[in-house]
Amino acid sequence: MTVSTLTVVPETTPVSGTAPCAEPPLFYLGTHQPHWLARAGVPLFVSDRRLRRYRTLPRARTIWALDSGGFTELSQYGTWTHGPSPAVYARRVRRYRDDIGRLVWAAPQDWMCEPFITAKTGLSVAEHQARTVDNYRQLVDLAPDLPWVPVVQGWTAADYLRCVDRYAAAGVDLAHARLVGVGSVCRRQGTTEVGDILTALHRAGVTRLHGFGFKTLGLARHGHLLTSADSMAWSAQARREPPLPGCSGHRNCANCLTYALRWRSRILAATNRTPVQLPLFDIAACGRPA
């Protein structure tokens, strides 16, 4: 599948409902600089761990999505105890939606299943899945008006299918979800194993998928199986390189919008996508929540 331009439609366009997405994956540029929401003009993926520090929030120029910061919480502490309660998190997300605007979706406080994470928590993959599903249900019950996206967690393809079943048992039909995040794939996004996981989910009827941490290789191999993806690998890459010409104000470009946007352009070009400036509309098609 070749990747072409983004399709952006006005807010008044009807949502396609349960129809599978025929468009190429929408790419969210990950950033730990929330003020870029007012500057970048491209879809951003921003963490609650960064946004929560802001008293005055930026107004978004275009659409964006919210990361709960679960990977950092679990890798550092082995628990969500240090993070916000579901009620506090829901209040924050409502503030982001209302004050920043253009929030497309928000991730729940999910539990990753990488082996080093489960070793840190001391819990099984099954327990991580149960807590992920429980948190999603709590957030939906607390704030049904917010654009929560369920996330499937696991390590093997069979794990992810069992997670789908857990959601079904909790009354959540992922086949009809407008978007479903696929967790614990970031560090193996270019592998055939991830392709097997995504294919298994499609065969189970879960077709509108967001890939966390996908970049060039992952998009090239598996982009046809994704509705959207995100990555902030640009920052780690920039940290290992000298600053761009003209960027004399910093030692490297790990926090540089110019570098990030150029990196994004290279990612899109490498996957045959044409980078475009999105107009000030929310996406409301192909299972992308408005």
Predicted local distance difference test score (pLDDT) of residue 32: 94
Task: Supply the Cα-derived Rg of the chain in whole angstroms.
Answer: 18
Q: How far is CA 233 from the centre of its chain?
A: 14
Judged against a pLDDT cut of 70, whether residue 189 lies above it is answered with yes
pLDDT of residue 25: 87
DSSP assignment of 223-247: GGG-SEEEE-HHHHHHHTSPPPTT-
Q: Would you place residue 158 in the very low, low, confident or very high pLDDT band (cuts 50, 70, 90)?
A: very high
**Angle subtended at Cα 150 by Cα 149 and Cα 155, rounded to the nearest 5 degrees:** 135
pLDDT at 106: 98
Tokens of 78: 């082995």
Predicted confidence band of residue 14 (pLDDT cuts 50, 70, 90):
very low
Q: Which fold has domain 26-270?
A: TIM Barrel (3.20.20)
What band does 286 get if pLDDT is binned at 50, 70 and 90?
A: very low
- Name the packing angle between helices 125-142 and 86-95 (round to 10°): 50
| Structure-token pair, residue 189 | 């996004």
Q: Where is pLDDT greater, at 42 or 290?
A: 42
Phi-psi map region of 30: left, alpha, beta (phi>0 left; psi -120 to 50 alpha): beta
Q: Is the pLDDT of residue 195 over 80?
A: yes
Q: What is the pLDDT of residue 1?
A: 31
Give the distance, in angstroms, between the CA of residue 35 and the centroid of all CA atoms in the same chain: 18
Instruction: Work out whether the CA dihedral 257, 258, 263, 264 comes out positive or negative.
Output: positive
Per-residue pLDDT reduced to its tens digit, 21-61: 456 689 999 999 999 999 999 999 999 999 999 999 999 99
Domain ranges of the chain: 26-270
Question: E strands of the chain, at which residues?
Answer: 26-31, 44-47, 64-67, 103-106, 151-152, 180-182, 209-211, 228-231
Q: Give the β-pairing of 151-152 and 209-211.
A: unpaired
Per-residue model confidence (pLDDT) at position 57: 98
Give the pLDDT score at 23: 64
8 Å CB contact between 29 and 230: yes
Structure tokens at 229: 């993806």
Give the DSSP per-residue string, 51-87.
HTT-SSPPPPSS-EEEE--HHHHHHHHSSSTTS--HH
As a whole-number percent, the residues of the chain with pLDDT over 70 amount to 85
Cβ neighbours of 165 (radius 10 Å): 14
Residues 200-255 pLDDT 10s: 999 999 999 999 999 888 988 999 999 999 999 999 898 989 999 988 788 899 99
What are the Cα distances from residue 45, in Å, to 25, 99, 229?
14, 17, 9
Q: Output the pLDDT for position 20.
A: 42
Answer whether 180's CB lies under 8 Å from 152's CB: yes
pLDDT of 268 reads 86
